[in-house]
Amino acid sequence: MVHGDQPLTKEGNPAAPLMEVYLQWIVDAWDQLPKDLIIKSFKNCALTIALDGSEDDQIYCFKPDGPIPSGRALLQQARADEQSNELRALLENVDLAEDENNGYESDVSVDFQFA
């Protein structure tokens, strides 16, 4: 199609290639990219980084010369706030009177034996 006669529309403009041709171009382009480049690109965009924060240094916009160099600290703070909120919600759901109602005493329910 790049070389040779190209079909034309009735107005005389070049006709669009068939969908199969477009799809093959995409497949060929992806096949030419190194796998490690694709993995790094996804990490740079924060699409596949570890949720524990161990790969935050790979996020492009948070790098020292990126557009949001302070973003990494903000993300870490947001994660800490989220963990605090989750812990707070768990603690709010603890019903201390429940043990008394069902006959269990929390402070005596665990028996530690040291050798």
Q: What is the pLDDT, as a whole number, of residue 104?
A: 64
Condensed to tens digits (0 to 9), the pLDDT of residues 105-115 reads: 655 555 666 65
Query: Other CB atoms closer than 10 Å to residue 17's CB: what's the count?
Result: 14
Identify which of 50, 52, 58 has the alpha carbon closest to the alpha carbon of residue 83: 52
Condensed to tens digits (0 to 9), the pLDDT of residues 2-59 reads: 556 788 999 989 998 899 999 999 999 999 999 999 999 999 999 998 888 899 999 9
Q: How far is CA 45 from the centre of its chain?
A: 9
Contacts (Cβ under 8 Å, ≥6 apart) of 6: 14, 15
Alpha-carbon span 22 to 16, nearest angstrom: 9
Whole-model pTM: value is 0.48
